[in-house]
Structure 1
Amino acid sequence: MATLNDYQVNTLGEGKFVDNLILNNGETATFLYVDDWSRPVYKLKSGTKVCCVNCDGTYLHTISAGSGEPDSPIRDEYQPTNKTSIVEELPSTQDFTFDYMFLDRLRCDLEYYFGFGNRNDKVLHYLDVHNHIAEMKNRLDAFPKDKRPEWLTEDDISNYESRLTA
């Protein structure tokens, strides 16, 4: 099990770690580092470097020699045997930074929708105001009670809903 350096902790989050992968052909892909785009990079037995394009060790691509960008998916025999994430969450920590940012983005979309957006669904991330509000409720409910944002409550979302009929 590889421990992350400071850069990788900043990229993946504190309390996370990355492990080597067992491939369908029985070989081991050895974890090397996390690249600038937060993708774990591995080395195959042949020496070929591969990266996980979905950042969790479940689908590998070759890396182009020049740019270091993902090139093409590798054959199934070189894909990981377990399709579960290799980026594990330790029980003691969980970072909600992305969740806060995304929920605020959804809130901002609604503010614009009711203002300068002229109630046009195309300005919403979910392209439908009812789905958008439902997703906001789901995301707010996903927070533990002690980690919920103070700047958006269930009442605030209900107020957005009531503005639909106004």
Structure 2
Amino acid sequence: MVVAWYMDESQEDQRKPHQLQPNRPVSCEELRQLGVRSWKLDADSYETDPHLAWIRKEENYSWMDIITIHKDKLPNYEEKIKIFFEEHLHLDDEIRYILDGSGYFDVRDKEDKWIRIYMEKGDMITLPAGIYHRFTLDENNYVKAMRLFVGEPVWTPYNRPADQFEARQKYVHSLAQTA
């Protein structure tokens, strides 16, 4: 399963863990309260994995592709890394399944503090529409991930501030309901 913690305020290399000292771990239950769901799957058999097939059917994840984020594999690598790390939200859920490598998703908690979620091979995560987040590689500088969508893919990030969007307002309202 994914591992998460509250981040420090350091401006050091974004690829470092950035754990508070002492560490303040965040449980999967705390992530669920923010609308973040995760699974541990068998990435070596993703093409035939019945658990993945079940999740895709249950969640209606009908569209899928695979992206490799590495300087030798991704066109405009440096530009893309900067875009991925810019704080933003989407109007649809963001679903990622790590097939190889590792990296971090950072999400904001109810008090607007950063939580870092470490993902490695086999981890699958769903970030709800409207949550402010960002992504970065870790110091291994490599991840191969499956991107899943309900229906046609929508790649548009809306950089913060983006509170005017209905998806953001619904998300904030859902947080108030879980308080």
Common fold by TM > 0.5: no
Higher gyration radius (CA): 1
- TM-score bracket relative to the smaller structure: under 0.3
Give the structure with the larger strand fraction: 2
TM-score when scaled to structure 1? 0.24
TM-score when scaled to structure 2? 0.22
Higher RCO structure (Cα 8 Å, ≥6 apart): 2
